Chain A
Amino acid sequence: MGFKKLTSTAVPLPIENIDTDQIIPARFLKATTREGFGDNLFRDWRYDNADQPKADFVLNDDTYTGEILVAGKNFGCGSSREHAAWAIKDYGFAVVVSSFFADIFKGNSLNNGLLPVQVTDEFLQELFKTIEQDPKAKITVDLEAEQIINEQTGNSEQFEINAYKKMCLIKGYDDIDYILSGKEEIEAFEAKRVTF
């Protein structure tokens, strides 16, 4: 369940300012559950008006696979819909790498077990170049060490993550699991709680 370290090939999406409307278009927000959003991830980039896959979009290209999505700067801007994080995760990505993330998207991702890794522009450009030259090139994301490594070039960078969120990802917890792991504390609190 938990996430400590991942080495994987990556899917490149070298577009800047990808907003949540592109990630999951508004018309897919009506569901009353959280499952199945991966089918509609990047829906309008992936499929044409006749619902046929567009061959030139990277998710429809077998050359690129892996659990890491590498995207251009300012990823996840626009509406605060949590569905964007659900869709990426549900599709099968565990990590998104970019040189900048919209704040709310970052929070939503961390709350849903999706790790946003923020790197410098130079590092990001190098990743794009590496993947372009060799689609099977590997990237390692080491959460414990807060480090990302381009295995092809050996270059690496540190990234930052809130201590609480790090613990959640490593243990495979979400907020509810975390709170319930302290259930005795809740019961102890209730026992001395002031009520009238």
Chain B
Amino acid sequence: MAGKTLFEKVWESHVVSKKPEYPEVLYIDRHYIHEVTSPQAFDGLRRRGLPVLRPEQTTATADHNVPTLNQHLPIQEPLSRFQVQKLRENCEEFGVELYDLGHEKQGIVHVIGPDLGLTQPGMTMVCGDSHTSTHGAFGSIAFGIGTSQVEQVLATQCLLQYRPKTMRIEVNGTLAKGVTAKDIILYVISQLSAAGGTGYFVEFAGTAIKSLSMEARMTICNMSIEMGARGGMIAPDETTFEYLKGREFAPKGEAWDQAVAYWKTLPSDPDASYDRVEVFQAEDIEPWITYGTNPGMGMGVSQTIPEVAVNGTAKDMVKALDYMGLDPQQPLKGKKIDYVFIGSCTNSRIEDLRAVADFVQGKKKADGVTVWIVPGSKGVEAQAKEEGLDKVFTEAGFELRQPGCSACLGMNEDKVPAGKYCVSTSNRNFEGRQGPGARTFLVSPLMAAAAAVTGEISDIRELI
């Protein structure tokens, strides 16, 4: 019998029922919810007279449109205040645990899950947010769902699904100094295009992936959906177990040993086969930056903007560069910028903050540049303070904000003004994503720190 992939093992162990021509009923171990995509789902339950089937497997937080200043005060913006209030009422009524604004465990849903040890290998997890793929870094099947599906999972703890195809993306070799996980994923997306993974569930593998820390792996899986993939995952190993051990909701004592023994059975068998395989070399990757209006429009920082993106059309390119105020053949290095945003579920974890602080220590931000640094969770914020990183940031002239999605999607007050350039560690550079007319360059935290200090797009390798 042929071996199985990590994906197949986790999927098959969660199939509740399966009939020919029918979608499979997939059991969901953990469901995360937040204020924006849940109100209609709860409303649906009320209409049907149904409870949340397994409230203890559901965790809620407020993150998408919370303010990142003065979180102890009532929310100013009426729509945000209304949504957070609705979430409170719904969680109260249906018995779901909520890490509300101001709670010590509050934060971006994809940052708190792993941080608290709620996310574990071999699980199935969903959330009404596309970047749920982040949790795949632990070897779980994690993906984003729509509001009707949020209702489905609340009501049944299951989800109807047709099985996606599988793709293995291998990255082998050793990364050069200054090149990070974010550069790997931006590079891969620009090679395969923003739609290159459509229909697939991706497993990231290879020596370069294996050598990454847990938080770096989360950055990779987070952005797997930016190439259109259903989700991304990485086989659990010692790095995973080491990270999880001792976390609040991780198994303890004997259960821990049993869990590890089980998790060790999950990696893909050597003779497992995939529908598609792509192989890349770490040595080909330099610090990466996007120039256009989808994450697939990216290039090495030393390169010049191409005539046309991989799998893109000439028309898309003209439109994107017009929006960005850039030209083909133009280098980006040396380009003056206005804003720097360090945050989002892609890069707002403690390691990201440490890397930035390490580089920024003793330096000052460039004049005329606004730098927002937004920790992913209350936990990350507290840890950063404990390590004195907050002082490094304030001394450098950075604005250290309170946890939330912030300028990743500009649903709260943190918007980049029209026409301004923002170097950002988030995951989407779509038109208007960071505010109407805002122009986004996606990069790694190190590249963002370099831009903050120099006031222009810089090659981090020349500064470290």
Binding site for B on A (CB under 8 A): 32-34, 82, 111, 162-164, 167, 175-176, 178-180, 182-183, 185-186, 189-190, 193-196
Given contacts A32-B86, A33-B43, A82-B148, contact A162 B21 (CB under 8 A): yes
Q: A164 touching B22 by the CB < 8 A rule?
A: yes
- Cβ-neighbour of B16 out of A82, A164, A175, A189 (below 8 A): A189
Q: Known pairs A180-B156, A189-B16, A196-B259; list 14 more (Cβ under 8 Å).
A: A32-B39, A33-B43, A179-B155, A179-B160, A182-B16, A183-B156, A185-B17, A186-B16, A186-B156, A186-B158, A190-B27, A194-B13, A194-B122, A196-B262
The answer to whether the Cβ of B377 comes within 8 Å of any Cβ in the partner chain is no
Nearest B residue to A112 via CB reads B148
Q: A182 touching B17 by the CB < 8 A rule?
A: yes
The answer to whether the Cβ of B25 comes within 8 Å of any Cβ in the partner chain is yes
- Cβ-neighbour of B156 out of A82, A163, A176, A196 (below 8 A): A176
How long is the Cα–Cα vector from A117 to B300 in the complex, in angstroms?
49
Shortest Cβ gap from B27 to chain A (Å)? 6
Q: A194 touching B25 by the CB < 8 A rule?
A: no
How long is the Cα–Cα vector from A178 to B155 in the complex, in angstroms?
11
Nearest B residue to A166 via CB reads B21
Given contacts A164-B23, A186-B157, contact A176 B255 (CB under 8 A): no
Q: A186 touching B27 by the CB < 8 A rule?
A: yes
- Cβ-neighbour of B160 out of A175, A186, A194 (below 8 A): A175
Given contacts A32-B40, A176-B48, A176-B152, contact A196 B27 (CB under 8 A): no
B residues 327-382 near A (Cβ < 8 Å) are: none
The answer to whether the Cβ of B437 comes within 8 Å of any Cβ in the partner chain is no
The answer to whether the Cβ of B94 comes within 8 Å of any Cβ in the partner chain is no
Shortest Cβ gap from A32 to chain B (Å)? 5
Report, as a range, how many residues of chain B touch the other chain.
Answer: 20 to 34
Given contacts A180-B155, A182-B16, contact A82 B22 (CB under 8 A): no
Shortest Cβ gap from B49 to chain A (Å)? 12
**Chain B residues positioned under 8 Å from A33 (CB to CB):** 40, 43
**Chain A residues positioned under 8 Å from B147 (CB to CB):** 82
How long is the Cα–Cα vector from A190 to B152 in the complex, in angstroms?
17
B residues 375-410 near A (Cβ < 8 Å) are: none
B residues 17-63 near A (Cβ < 8 Å) are: 17, 21-23, 25, 27, 29, 39-40, 43-44, 48, 50
A-B contact count (CB 8 A): 66
**Chain B residues positioned under 8 Å from A176 (CB to CB):** 48, 50, 151-152, 155-156
Q: A34 touching B156 by the CB < 8 A rule?
A: no
The answer to whether the Cβ of B267 comes within 8 Å of any Cβ in the partner chain is no
How long is the Cα–Cα vector from A32 to B46 in the complex, in angstroms?
13
Interface residue SS majority, chain A: helix
Shortest Cβ gap from A31 to chain B (Å)? 8
Q: B40 touching A179 by the CB < 8 A rule?
A: no
Q: A179 touching B25 by the CB < 8 A rule?
A: yes
**Chain A residues positioned under 8 Å from B27 (CB to CB):** 186, 189-190, 193
**Chain B residues positioned under 8 Å from A32 (CB to CB):** 39-40, 43, 86
**Chain B residues positioned under 8 Å from A111 (CB to CB):** 148
**Chain A residues positioned under 8 Å from B256 (CB to CB):** 196
**Chain A residues positioned under 8 Å from B23 (CB to CB):** 164
The answer to whether the Cβ of B251 comes within 8 Å of any Cβ in the partner chain is yes
**Chain B residues positioned under 8 Å from A162 (CB to CB):** 21
Nearest B residue to A30 via CB reads B79
The answer to whether the Cβ of B146 comes within 8 Å of any Cβ in the partner chain is yes
How long is the Cα–Cα vector from A164 to B86 in the complex, in angstroms?
34
How long is the Cα–Cα vector from A32 to B151 in the complex, in angstroms?
13
How long is the Cα–Cα vector from A185 to B16 in the complex, in angstroms?
6
B residues 439-455 near A (Cβ < 8 Å) are: none
The 4 lowest CB-CB distance pairs between A and B, nearest first, are A196-B251, A196-B259, A163-B21, A179-B156
14 examples of A-B residue contacts, CB within 8 angstroms: A32-B39, A32-B40, A33-B43, A34-B40, A34-B43, A82-B147, A82-B148, A163-B22, A176-B152, A178-B160, A182-B16, A185-B17, A186-B157, A189-B16
**Chain B residues positioned under 8 Å from A175 (CB to CB):** 148, 152, 160
The answer to whether the Cβ of B258 comes within 8 Å of any Cβ in the partner chain is yes
- Which among A32, A111, A175, A183 has the highest number of chain B CB atoms within 10 Å? A175
**Chain B residues positioned under 8 Å from A163 (CB to CB):** 21-22
